[in-house]
Amino acid sequence: MTTDNAPASTDPAQPLLDVTGLEVSFTTSQGVVQAVRGVDLTIYPGQSVAIVGESGSGKSTLAHAVINLLPGTGTITGGSIKFDGRELVGASKKEIIDLRGRKIGLVPQDPMSNLNPVWRIGFQIKEALKANGVDTRRRRQQLTDALVEIETTPSGDDLYLGSAGKKELLAALRQAGVAEKAVEKAEAALHVGSTTRAQAVGILEQAGLREAEALAAEHVTGASPTDRVAGLLAEAGLGDAERRARQYPHEFSGGMRQRALIAMGLAARPRLLIADEPTSALDVTVQKTILDHLGTLTAELGAAVLFITHDLGLAAERAEHLVVMYKGKIVESGPSRQILRAPRHPYTQRLVAAAPSLASRRIQSAHAAGIETDELLASHAESGGHKHADNVVEVKDLTKVFRIRGSRPGTGTDFTAVDQISFSVARGTTLALVGESGSGKSTAANMVLGLLEPTAGTVEFDGVDITSLRGKEAFRFRRRIQPVFQNPYGSLDPMFSIYRTIEEPLRVHQVGDAKAREKRVRELLDMVALPSTMMRRFPNELSGGQRQRIAVARALALNPEVIVLDEAVSALDVLVQAQVLTLLNDLQAELGLSYLFITHDLAVVRQIADKVCVMQNGRIVEQGSTDTIFDSPEQEYTRELLAAIPGASLDIGPQVPAA
């Protein structure tokens, strides 16, 4: 880890960012809302700090206040923000613009919406270079005179390999009679726009060239902005960067877009990088590689990092210092390990107890220590009462093929989303279908729900193939299996009152009269632990957790036997997530429900599932009991998924913090 390339003004004892008594408020129709209330925060050069908190805790607002990007009516009403000794509150617009990108970089939260869809990736990164005066060509001119001194600097100079230089170097290698294999290796190692002269010397020497230094001096003469963009993308871990830079955001996957955003945030080599939930929208394995990469990259560049996250496990693993925010205030801060081991504030204690990644780790280490784990789980359903092994759902060789339109008639291709999968859900138990996005798990769920026609295979519900059901039978079948979907904001009709939302399935299936239905709605609200006064309200007045409870109540309305939970808790904050999981467990024990639990989050699986099926590319690659999968995974893919749960490197004892 070289930090010697950090700017000379850096004094490790002098804070890079010093926030004191910061207050931010928003003006709404209901008056002034204080989002940040007297926050102190200090970040030293090269340090990594994570702010942890649930949504609405003010953590993102704090970060946005630092670079003056508060949305809408947000204003700083008090306190000070000092960056490198300069006061930012009340600074001129020009000063702030100078700071953005150049001194403080931002990696935003949602990779899907943070790139402009109409411009090529390369254009958007080049823009950041130009705006911050990182004109690689001009700097090359300035550096020509000082070549001798810079040659030996390990990194940090802007003298990068250009695309023409790379071709010349490879030609020179071939001319010198270097074996084709070594040339290919060098070709892969030499990154246009990212490899510095000194690095090139190393690579050339490794390829077996003697006069490497002279060659490098001749051909590594600086990169054009386009080359530099490719280099930045390569540094952010994107393969085939030169071609990728010419593509549009919609041609990128979520992980690739996040890499592009990281390249963008680091383009002008800022001294502080704010990473606002940089990976919460990504699959776990992608999340891990990207965070690993971000970590090494910022360490190499000597940049300080401010992580904003809701995942305590991730925060503790990636940052030295933790800051816990709750309702606009910092309730606790200190070294990460210390906070995890001995949280002092009650809120932090609850957070530590609820974090799925940590809970999962605890179980893991408890297992290793030979301790019985039942009491560690949220409240695992007693499956003893339903020991008779009858399967309520039986899926056999289920296949779904989608036709993808080609660019011209007759060139369409088939895409197999679900490929001959078989599994069964035993009555009164929970089966988790785990996989990354695109693995086909939601498609499988939709077929089990009878919402999607399978291409081949059967779904048997209580011994009856549901694909053969027509008309009235199909209608009756719907009563017995109900879904709860991921996004509680999208799955409730905003024009329906809560009463109407829960009552609708009863009315559709003509259950009872108006009076009986109202009684049932009250009962259901009670079941999901919500007051019956909620009936008259509308979804927009409810929090995410409350909405998801409403969705569960609606699913329960018809007394179904099976509930399909499609990422039902993924969008919720950890504490709320824990509450909903406990509720689901309780309901299962009480009503003997069977769950088909679809998720990408293995940490949650550990807390709720009896059996796990791991899906990859439409196939089930491994299935077994939860303990077997977690303790002795057979497939490499499963192991990767498990390793990607944040907090893997943390050493937490098996003790249970008081919840």
Partner 1 sequence: MAWYAGRRLLQMIPVFLGATLLIYAMVFLLPGDPIAALGGERGLPPAVAEQLRAQYHLDQPFLVQYGIYLRNLLTGDFGMSFSRRPVADLLAAAFPTTVKLAAMTLVIESVAGIGVGLWAGIRKGGIFDSTFLVISLVLIAVPIFVIGFAGQVLFGVKLGWVPATVGSNVSFRTLILPAIVLASASFAYILRLTRTTVAENRTADHVRTATAKGLSTGRVMRVHVLRNSLIPVVTFIGTDVGALLGGAVVTEGIFNIPGVGNLLYSAITRHEAPTIVSVTTFLVIVYLISNLIVDLLYAVLDPRIRYA
Residues that bind partner 1 (CB under 8 A): 67, 69, 71-72, 93, 97-102, 105-106, 108-110, 113-119, 124, 127-128, 131-132, 248, 250, 261, 264-265, 267-268, 405-409
CA dihedral 645→646→651→654, nearest 10 degrees, is: -60
CB of 319 to partner 1, least distance (A): 21
SS3 label, residue 612: strand
Backbone angles phi, psi at 47, to 5 degrees: -80, 155
**CA-to-CA distance for 88 and 83, rounded, in angstroms?**
7
CB of 250 or CB of 519, closer to partner 1? 250
CB of 98 or CB of 460, closer to partner 1? 98
**CA-to-CA distance for 105 and 39, rounded, in angstroms?**
21
Report the chain's terminal Cα–Cα distance, integer Å: 39
**CA-to-CA distance for 522 and 529, rounded, in angstroms?**
10
CB of 273 or CB of 355, closer to partner 1? 273
Containing H/E element for 580? helix 574-591
CB of 69 or CB of 401, closer to partner 1? 69
**CA-to-CA distance for 374 and 376, rounded, in angstroms?**
5
Q: Burial of 66 by CB count in 10 Å (0-12 exposed, 13-18 middle, 19+ buried)?
A: buried
CB of 309 or CB of 391, closer to partner 1? 309
CB of 269 to partner 1, least distance (A): 12
CB of 115 to partner 1, least distance (A): 6
**CA-to-CA distance for 143 and 147, rounded, in angstroms?**
6
CB 564 within 8 A of CB 445: yes
SS3 label, residue 392: strand
CA angle 110, 111, 114 (to 5 degrees): 85
**CA-to-CA distance for 565 and 596, rounded, in angstroms?**
6
CB 304 within 8 A of CB 17: yes
Amino acid at 510: Q
CB 341 within 8 A of CB 626: no
CB of 131 or CB of 150, closer to partner 1? 131
CB of 128 or CB of 340, closer to partner 1? 128
Question: Closest Cα to residue 423, out of 218, 621, 167, 169?
Answer: 621
CB of 78 to partner 1, least distance (A): 24
**CA-to-CA distance for 278 and 514, rounded, in angstroms?**
49
CB of 516 to partner 1, least distance (A): 46
CB of 335 or CB of 406, closer to partner 1? 406
CB of 251 or CB of 397, closer to partner 1? 251
